[in-house]
Amino acid sequence: MSAKPRYIILLGPPASGKGTQAARLREILGLPHVASGDLFRENLKNETPLGRRAKEYMDRGELVPDDVTIAMVMERLSQPDCAGGALLDGFPRTIAQAQALDRALAERGQQVGAVPYIAVPDDVLVERVSGRRLCRLCGASYHVRFNPPQQPGRCDHDGGKLYQRDDDLPETVRTRLQVYWEQTSPLIDYYRQQGVLVTVNGDQSIDAVTTDLREALGRP
């Protein structure tokens, strides 16, 4: 692994802290944050055909089909700001997506540089999901207990109203965790075999996780 890999994938179960950490690492690394869930939610908000198609899967806590997801993320990665690298969050989530990403990067003479895996036990994840609140304007992630905003219900960055995601309900979360273990966790071995996986303990304070991620990425 090179000292400062440019294509970085934050791997981890739902609510492990990928978005929270990506918001910090994006500043530190100077890389764009590419979150597939955010891209889907943007499409939902704008009521695009893609958003309408994705909604039924998201509401059930299932994965959106690979072809749709891969096309959407590749389109984002082909934009000029991603030419020097990107911080990927929530993508890839299947082996097919990981292979598509490898192929697309290889075509540009690039490769995945590092895959920090944020490990968190399932019972902690359920508690994190139930208190998660997002900013309607910028998508920043808060938690009513673990990471509350300065002013209740309002984003610290832009004052946007905070809301709870439709899919952050206890029933849907159980499906999402099952989907994660069945379809996404095989990526842990996939990237371990590529020699780019580095496991970080996500069951500690947000600051401590950031410190460990920086360490894992060669102390940027």
- Catalytic sites, residue numbers: 18, 93, 132, 165, 176
Residue 120-159 contact track with ligand ADP, rule CB under 6 A, x = bound:
--------x--xx--------xxx--xx------------
Structure tokens at 95: 């082996």
Is residue 191 within the footprint of ligand ADP (CB under 6 A)? no
| Least gap, CB of 66 to ligand ADP (angstroms) | 7
DSSP-derived 3-state class of residue 65: coil
Q: Are 49 and 68 in contact (CB under 8 A)?
A: no
Cα–Cα dist 18/12, whole Å: 7
The distance from CA 204 to its chain's CA centroid, rounded to whole angstroms, is 18
206 binds ligand ADP (CB under 6 A): yes
Out of 7, 8, 11, 12, name the contact with ligand ADP by CB under 6 A: 12
Alpha-carbon distance of 94 to 176, in angstroms, equals 13
Mark the segment that binds ligand ADP (CB under 6 A) among 90-98, 156-164, 191-199, 212-220. Answer: 90-98
43 binds ligand ADP (CB under 6 A): no
Among residues 8, 11, 19, 162, the one that binds ligand ADP under rule CB under 6 A: 19
| CA dist 171 → 90, 134, 168, 174 (Å) | 20, 19, 9, 5
Task: Name the CA dihedral angle for 52, 23, 111, 100, rounded to a multiple of 10 degrees.
Answer: -10
> How many residues of this chain interact with ligand ADP, rule: CB under 6 A?
36
Return residues touching ligand ADP (CB under 6 A): 12, 14-20, 36-37, 40, 57-58, 61-64, 69, 90-93, 97, 128, 131-132, 141-143, 146-147, 167, 176, 205-206, 209
